[in-house]
Chains A and B, each alone.
Chain A
Amino acid sequence: MPILIKGGKVVDPGRFVGVGDVLIDQGKVVAVGPNIQAPAGSTTIEAKDRLVLPGFVDLHVHFREPGFEYKETIQSGSAAAVAGGFTTVCCMPNTNPVNDNQAVTEFILERARLAGLANVWPVGAITKGSEGKELAEIGDLRRSGCVAISDDGKPVMNSLVMRRAMEYALAFDLTVVDHCEDLHLAEGGCMNEGLVSTELGLPGIPSAAEDVMVARNLSLSELTGARLHLAHISTAGSVRMVREAKARGIKVTAEACPHHFILTEEVVRGYNTHAKMNPPLRTWDDVRAIKEGLRDGTIDVIATDHAPHATQEKQQDFTEAPFGIVGLETALSLTLGLVEEGVISLEQAVEKLTSGPAAAFGLKKGTLAVGADADVTIVDQQAEWVVDPGKFRSKSRNTPFVGWKVKGRVLTTIVGGRVVFEAGPLES
């Protein structure tokens, strides 16, 4: 049944920005523009004063299935995704078993199909078991549906293996994603190394642990010609190097997470395990650099690194607690905060949630072009709400943004022409 989204402010970065209608039918975008006539039998969604956006694309989520279903499942993760306006999410392979083979990839795709909410597209492992030694069957992973490769969380330390992975990925036009962290430099660290780690007596992870691997990966991308995507960059050094590499024509894209452009290491004080993530929260200098990178286009993508963990895991003492926070249901509001602050324009914000990530992995998503998949997110940019993890669709509650008053709320999410999420009324 056709759906006409009427009179909203359409922001389709690089294509159309303005008040208009969006007509979708048979799972595709049929028309975008002013005064579109509703065809017979269509449903109309009134979108006056609303933002009508391409469905968001998150290149970095952990849905924990198979293996850690107590933290999240593909069902609960998908529900969190669409509640946050994300219509396509790419799930990292650090499940148990690791997604380093066709069977796991197919299992994930089947679970996603059963959930029937978001497009859940797997990222395959670079190496078998993500052990950094032998290449996984990357060709098979691609053929069975993986959209990129990464050993996320377990960076490939052996530079020769990384070089080979990049070369091999060229054969399948796959983007190689790296979590940049020198495991020797980071050894045992659980927060940013600096004055705060000194005061708290916690082992630190220096910025250099990220920077040296960013430098290595850029060199290897230059050497091999591979398409490189840098996950969750967190340091001023990374931003500087990516900027320089892009200027020299290296095929690199970079992502930043909301927590890295909003919070600093100061949040760790009190041994707050919801401020424990990897890469760690850094300093104001780094936050400023990330924002500048977003503004000038050095950073192409905003991703969540949605990393659910059970409450009891985060209740352990700081050094024992696992890294990571959930992010799907807060990302839009936190990103719109940058718009409010004047760091980036609304169009830029939307771009980094849609066409930016789609381009980084070469996905045919993140646009409202005629003929594109009808993935649409409708947003009330002005609605204010308070972050209450108890209301998350995610199975997990681990967020440092609890109690924050934020602005911007997803009202409706459409995937493949089907409404998969509608927000309830705001509680006052």
Chain B
Amino acid sequence: MSLKRKDLLSLATLSLDEIALILETADSFKEVTGREIKKVPALRGKTVVNLFFEPSTRTRTSFELAAKRLSADVINFSPSSSSVVKGETLLDTARNIEAMQADIIVLRHSSAGAAETLARGVKSSVINAGDGWHEHPTQALLDLYTIRGRGMGFRGLRVAIVGDVAHSRVARSNIYALTKLGAEVRLVGPPTMMPCGVEKLGVKVYSDMDKGLCGVNVIMMLRLQLERQGRALFPTIREYARLYGLTAERVKLADTGAIVMHPGPINRGVEIAPDVADSLSSVILDQVANGVAVRMGILYLMSEAG
């Protein structure tokens, strides 16, 4: 089995079968990452380019590790916005990389749609590693993998996504994935952080966190972009933390056995209390570990598809 697509751009366009295939493939690579010698030759002779226009540590590292464990050659290319000559298009940059026979380009970009634009213009496979506020499909897939790894089924699963949904690609990818899989998705946050018309995507919106968390199986916290303070989205970090910070008290409102997730990096004491981040219900580090296995699976499937 392989993916019948050149690129992995979004969860919105991924079918249930494709999601299932990616999660199953990740299983076999999860086993590899547990070995003493964590390397297989699946992508030997292939070149993976991490093209990161936005600073990122964990996603880039995760992709790099995943590619290296598959024996691919990995190049990290991080043009800072200042060094990209004004007027040079993303496509020009990518075509240069393609000319060096890159098989897979992993793109992180601050503009929504950048991955789709790139994918249309190059023959290499493109994996979207986050485009603006649009999608972050590999993050959502590793989130799904983590939920599944806890023995939870998706149908009827109650998931609360808490925080700045409007500016979150992680939230969008998870909304598309989870609603597709039959989960009940709740969005929790101040109305200033809810994107226009989001209810039409089949989610419920709560501005009261306590109500939103009531009886959920999964609490997915989003990182608060601290630099957004002063742009009238929320008055102070203090008030935000009081209204939408996840405390041990609030975790109790959720279903017993509920898990706490966070795409990282976390703001301790802002959206998540330190004791919650470190608690047994927290699967934040599992997410990171699973990220490598899921990305290995994706890279493998993409190279097969190509």
**Interface residues, chain A, with chain B CB atoms under 8 Å away:** 193-195, 197-204, 206, 270-271, 312, 315-320
Report the separation of the CA atoms of residues A317 and B172 in the bound assembly, to the nearest whole angstrom. Answer: 20
* Residues of the B chain whose Cβ atoms lie less than 8 Å from the Cβ of A317: 89-90, 109, 111, 113-114, 117
- Interface assignment of B19: CB less than 8 Å from any CB of chain A: no
User: Would you call A202 and B133 a contact (CB within 8 A)?
Assistant: yes
Contact of B134 with A201 in the complex, beta carbons under 8 Å: yes
Complex interface bits, B184-222 against A, C-beta within 8 A gives 1, otherwise 0: 000000000001111011000000000000000000000
B91 at the interface (CB under 8 A from A): yes
| Residues of chain B whose beta carbon lies under 8 Å from any beta carbon of chain A | 12, 87, 89-91, 109-114, 116-117, 131-135, 169, 172, 195-198, 200-201
Given contacts A194-B196, A202-B133, A204-B196, contact A312 B169 (CB under 8 A): no
Query: Given A201-B132, A312-B89, do A318 and B113 touch, yes or no (CB 8 Å)?
Result: yes
Inside 8 A of A198's CB, which chain B residues have their CB?
195-198, 201
**A122→B198 CA distance, assembly (Å):** 44
Q: Mostly helix, strand, loop or mixed at chain A's interface?
A: loop
With contacts defined as CB atoms under 8 Å apart, how many contacts are there between chain A and chain B in the complex?
65
A96 to nearest B CB, angstroms?
A: 16
Instruction: Given A200-B113, A201-B169, verify A319-B195 contact (CB < 8 Å).
Output: no
Min distance, Cβ A404 to any Cβ of chain B, angstroms: 21
How far, in whole Å, are A315 and B94 apart by their CA atoms in the complex? 13
The 10 A-B pairs at the shortest CB distance, nearest first, are namely: A201-B134, A271-B113, A195-B197, A201-B133, A198-B195, A201-B112, A317-B111, A319-B111, A318-B113, A317-B114
Query: Which residues from A are CB-within-8-Å of B117?
Result: 271, 317-318
Interchain CA distance A317-B109 in the complex, whole Å: 10
Of the candidates A200, A202, A203, A204, the one having the most CB atoms from chain B within 10 angstroms of its own CB is A200
Minimum distance in angstroms from B105 CB to a CB of chain A: 14
Could you say which of A206, A315, A318 contacts B112, with CB atoms under 8 Å apart? Answer: A318
Chain A residues lying within 8 Å of B110, measured Cβ to Cβ, are: 319
- Expressed in whole angstroms, the Cα–Cα distance for A259 and B103 within the complex equals 40
* B200 cross-chain contacts in A, Cβ below 8 A: 195
Evaluate contact between B134 and A200: CB separation under 8 angstroms.
yes
Chain A residues, CB < 8 A from B197: 194-195, 198
Given contacts A194-B197, A318-B117, contact A202 B112 (CB under 8 A): yes
Q: How far is the CB of B178 from chain A (nearest CB, A)?
A: 15
The minimal Cβ–Cβ distance linking A210 to chain B, given in whole angstroms, is: 15
Q: Which chain B residues lie closer than 8 Å to A271 at the CB level? A: 112-113, 116-117
**Contact between A201 and B135, CB atoms less than 8 A apart:** yes
Find out whether the CB atom of B196 lies under 8 angstroms from the CB atom of A202.
Answer: no
Cβ B196 vs Cβ A193 within 8 A: yes
CB distance from B231 to the nearest CB of A (A): 9
Tell me, in angstroms, the Cα distance from A63 to B198 when the chains sit together: 40
- Tell me the bound Cα distance from A200 to B111 in angstroms: 10
Contact of A319 among B89, B132, B135, B198 (CB under 8 A): B132
Q: How far is the CA of A316 from the CA of B197 in the complex (A)?
A: 28
Q: Which residues of A contact B196 (CB under 8 A)?
A: 193-195, 197-198, 204, 206
| Chain B residues positioned under 8 Å from A202 (CB to CB) | 112-113, 132-134
Q: Identify the interface centre among B87, B112, B134, B195: most chain A CB within 10 Å of its CB.
A: B112
B222–chain A nearest beta-carbon distance, Å: 14
Give the docked Cα–Cα distance between A320 and B112 (Å): 10
Complex-state Cα separation, A201 to B173, whole angstroms: 10
With A199-B201, A201-B131, A201-B169 known, 16 other A-B pairs at CB within 8 A are A195-B196, A198-B196, A199-B12, A201-B112, A201-B132, A201-B133, A202-B113, A202-B132, A202-B133, A202-B134, A271-B116, A317-B114, A317-B117, A318-B112, A318-B117, A319-B113
10 contacts between A and B (CB under 8 A): A195-B201, A199-B172, A201-B113, A201-B133, A202-B112, A202-B132, A203-B133, A318-B112, A318-B117, A319-B132
